[in-house]
Amino acid sequence: MIELPERTRRISPTRLLEILQAHDCKSLVDPFMGLPTHLNYLKRHGIAVHGGDLLEWFVRVGEGLIVNDLTYLRDAEVAEIVEMLPGHIYSLDLFKAWEGVFFSEEQCVYLGVWHDNVRNLRSDQQTGLAILGLWRAFCYWMQKTQSPDDMQDTPPSELAWTYIRQTEQWVVSNMRRNTVRQGDVLATIGARTADALFLAPPPRNSFRSADARIWMWEAWWQGNPYFTIEHAYRDSLLGARAADGPSYARALASILASADGYPVIVMQTTEQRIGELEPLLRNARSNVKIIAPHSYEMYLVATR
Amino acid sequence: MLVADVLGWFGAVGDAAMGNAPGFAARKASLAVALAQTANLPEAEWHAIYYAGLLHAIGAIGNTAYRKGEQLTERIARMESWDAPAQGAQICETIGCLPAETADMVRWQHEAWDGTGFPDQLRWTGIPRPAQFLALADTFLAANDPEVALGQIGLASGRAFNPETVRTFTMWFHRAGGEVDPIEMPVDGLLDAPPDAQTLLERFADRIDAHNLVPGRWRRIAQIAGATATALQLSADEARQLALACRVFGAGEIDEKAVEDEDFDPLARLGVEHRARNARAAAALAHPYERLQGAAEVVAARGEWFDGTGKPKGLARKKIPIVSSILAAAIAHDRLDRGERIDTAAGTQFDPAVVRAVMEAAKLRA
């Protein structure tokens, strides 16, 4: 059985918004955005948000939640995603490698069908919303492998339908331009300027213990069940080149050096890592304030 | 006055703002604590869980989705309502006597295990377990039938709720038969920290006025009422009850679409029912709390008329408590376009002596 790790850090967008408002920040760049639900919250509250990530599916979801101001998926469109369409030839074996290991035969067939259907959507925004909805269905299945007797058996199409329809509620406009891009941290920081830079840098070598729900979904989106996350991070700033402590610290220092144009830097961390990150931030900025509501949710707020 | 009474009252006002049944907050608090006990959570967390349950809805007070006078579409109203937990948490953070964890339990009580909750869309183990217990308690109590609720919660396992938490809930349900045993407010769990009860009550009254779109109203009314009480030589105890009544009467209008005197002139007979209903609602919210019972009685009689044609009891002349007469006249005076118009209601709606004193107090204030 696959292990689903405990979450060891938390980003609370409500708290982040309080920090941004306290510093009168109206725009934010997040180059390690991950699943951009926190950026969606900030967008809803009028902040112009710009996110970046190395994993493509996060960026695609960003197209649906961040860039998208008004498109959503109607019932008929959702129906064309969640079920096999007549007259369409599907690559039903695409995820056969996962069969019996993580999922049942039926689930693997559906993963293939959904992959094809989502790839055929014409709108980037709808694609992003569909990826998010289907990911939640995928996570439900993963969770069910841990608690098989506690969770209901729901037909895959019904489960996917519910989750995709739900994505509509997060589509919102803030009358600002919001963007996402796939790329490494320095490219994202250089591509945009904003009032604040939000950094939640992944711990050193963390891709080796990445949550299966994250990397497997990138594999799904790429249509490659053998995809490994090391591949995505290989040539990145915090990837293989930053495997040892000093190189990791140098990489973080270079990020902070390139963030000189941002009036405010907010760095999210944990009690475990604060000793490593705080000195780096203090080297880059004269004022650093620590907001520490929990041991696994801390924010270093740096100003000039 | 005890801080615990003020907190309990404000929790009940939050429920009213959100449209929950009376007593919902206390039941939610009790059930969430029972679940925490079933799950063997450390005893130190029980107090925070209780107060988070009690104050679960205070973010609705002043929230755009619930506030008076807002014309929002259903979609926008829903989005605005997602901010209520975070607003509640912000209020809790300013109450020094609450256990430190309370605010975040309020903040995350509507998060869903699968990440589809609000406001932060936290997912999986990122949601603290006590917050999940509060969410479970909310779902259970919102359903009419315990068996139906049990079914709903079972279906939501792995979606809204952590499957492990649902197991805890099921264990509690079968042990307790689905009956929520009320738990006494853990007064000893409150810390000795500012603000004091008086300041807290005033802050809450300010928030209620902001929700009702009449900012600063209770302060103006308390000033006039206080000066009137001095002029009429009320006892210290009566003056104290009057001062408290000025702070709590606005809660009676919290779930109304409009402030009472927007529909009717404050001196019009047509508004009798309306004013009496709001008076009853405010009194019902305050009455369960020992230190606010006197104020509740003052507020309850503010819809009575001097000539005996008022509501709810039709009391006349000296049978109407003088403090209630003062409160009623001060409220009406505050709303009138020209304060001296209150004179026309002397002898019918209000005690002439009270009217004279209110007018004098208003002159002094001017």
Looking at residues A219-230, what average pLDDT do you find? 93
Determine, for residues A166 and B114 on separate chains, whether the beta-carbon distance falls below 8 Å.
no
Q: Coil, strand, or helix at residue B161?
A: strand
B124 touches chain A (CB under 8 A): yes
Interatomic CA distance for residues B239 and B234, integer angstroms: 6
Query: Which of B80, B92, B121, B170 should be substituted to probe chain A, the one whose Cβ sees the most A Cβ atoms within 10 Å?
Result: B121
Asked whether residue B117 falls in the same domain as residue B157, the answer is yes
A 10 A CB-CB count for A264 gives 23
Residues 6+ apart with CB under 8 A from A109: A92
With vertex at residue B320, the alpha carbon angle to CA B309 and CA B199, rounded to the nearest 5 degrees, is 120
Residue B263 has pLDDT above 80, yes or no: no
Count of domains for chain B: 2
Please write the tens of the pLDDT for every residue from B50-68: 999 999 999 999 999 999 8
Residues in B touching A140 (Cβ below 8 Å): 114, 158-159
pLDDT digits (tens, 9 = 90+) for B287-324: 999 999 999 999 999 999 999 999 999 999 999 999 99
Question: E strand or H helix at B193, and its extent?
Answer: none
Residues B9 and B135 placed together within one structural domain of the fold = yes
CATH number of the domain bearing residue B174: 1.10.3210.10
**Pair B134, B229 in one domain:** no
Indicate if B171 and B260 belong to the same structural domain: no
Interchain contact, B163 vs A147, CB within 8 Å: yes
Residue A8's pLDDT band (cuts 50, 70, 90): low
Hey, CA dihedral for B157, B161, B162, B166, is it positive or negative? Answer: negative
What domains can be seen in chain A, in order of their start residue? 1-69+176-211+227-304 (3.40.50.150), 70-171 (no CATH)
Does residue B292 lie in a domain region? yes
Work out the pLDDT band at B258, boundaries 50, 70, 90: low
Identify whether B337 is part of a domain: yes
Same domain for B269 and B331? yes
Residue B303 counted as domain residue: yes
| Cβ contact A293–B164 (<8 Å) | no
Residue B77 lies in a domain: yes
**How far does B272 lie from chain A, in Å, by closest CA?**
42
Look at residues A295, A174, A197, A209 and name the one whose alpha carbon lies nearest to residue A252: A197
Decide if B319 contacts B278 (C-beta within 8 A).
no
| Contact status, residue A113 vs residue A84, Cβ threshold 8 Å | yes
For residue B157, list chain A residues with Cβ-Cβ distance below 8 A. Answer: 147, 150-152
Contact (CB<8Å) B107/A172: no
How far apart CA B162 and CA B170 sit, in angstroms, is: 12
Q: Looking at the complex, does the CB of residue A147 fall below 8 Å from at least one CB of chain B? A: yes
Q: Which of left, alpha, beta for B350 (phi over 0: left; psi -120 to 50: alpha)?
A: beta
Do B180 and B258 belong together in one domain? no
- Give B159 to chain A, closest Cα distance, Å: 7
Nearest chain B residue to A148, by CA: B163
Cβ–Cβ gap B79/A146 under 8 Å: no
Sign of CA dihedral B37, B39, B44, B47: negative
Interacting residues of B30 by C-beta distance below 8 A, sequence separation 6+ = B50, B53, B180, B181, B182, B183
Query: Concatenated DSSP letters for B80-135?
Result: HHTTHHHHHHHHHHT-TTS-TTHHHHHHTTT--TTS--SSS---GGGS-HHHHHHH
Q: List chain A residues with CB under 8 Å of B79.
A: 44, 169, 172
Q: Contact at 8 Å (CB) between B336 and B271? A: no
Find the Cα–Cα–Cα–Cα dihedral B74, B79, B83, B84, rounded to 10°: 20
Q: How much is the pLDDT for B261?
A: 65
B119–A14: do the CB atoms touch at under 8 Å? Answer: yes
**B180 and B55 within one domain:** yes
Name the residue with tokens 């902040």. Answer: A47
pLDDT digits (tens, 9 = 90+) for B114-159: 999 999 999 999 999 999 999 999 999 999 899 999 999 999 999 9
B316, B278: one domain: yes
Contact: B158, A140; criterion CB under 8 Å: yes
Q: What is the pLDDT of residues A48-73, one digit of tens each?
A: 999 999 999 999 999 999 999 999 99
Comparing B71 with B216, which gets the higher pLDDT?
Answer: B216
Query: Per residue in A145-180, pLDDT tens?
Result: 999 999 999 999 999 999 999 999 999 999 999 999
Residues A17-47: tens digit of each pLDDT: 999 999 999 999 999 999 999 999 999 999 9
Residue B280 lies in a domain: yes
Q: Is residue B23 situated within a structural domain?
A: yes
Q: How many Cβ atoms from other residues are within 10 Å of residue B241's Cβ?
A: 25
Q: Are B146 and B243 members of one domain?
A: no
Q: Which residues of chain B have a CB within 8 Å of the CB of A152? A: 154-155, 157-158
B154, B189, B224 - which closes a domain = B189
Q: How many angstroms separate the CA of residue B46 from the nearest CA in chain A?
A: 18
Expressed in angstroms, the distance from the first to the final Cα of chain B is 32
| B258-263 CB contacts, 8 Å cutoff, 24+ apart | B258/B68, B258/B69, B259/B68, B259/B212, B259/B213, B259/B214, B261/B332, B261/B335
Which site among A4, A12, A17 would you substitute to test the B interface, given the most B Cβ atoms closer than 10 Å to its Cβ?
A: A12
Other C-beta atoms closer than 10 Å to the C-beta of A275 total 9
Contacts B113 to A, Cβ<8 Å:
143
Per the domain annotation, does B194 fall within a domain? no
| Per-residue buried b or exposed e for A199-237, using 16+ beta carbons within 10 Å of the residue's own CB | bbbbbbbebeebbbbbbbbbbbbbeebebebebbbeebb
Residue B1 has pLDDT above 60, yes or no: no
In a domain, B264, yes or no: yes
Residue A39 near residue A63 (C-beta atoms within 8 A): no
| Residue B90 structural domain | 3-189
Sign of the Cα torsion A154, A155, A161, A164 reads: positive
Residue-averaged pLDDT of chain B: 95
Dihedral of alpha carbons A42, A44, A45, A49, sign:
positive
State how far the Cα of B155 lies from the Cα of B143, in Å rounded to an integer.
14
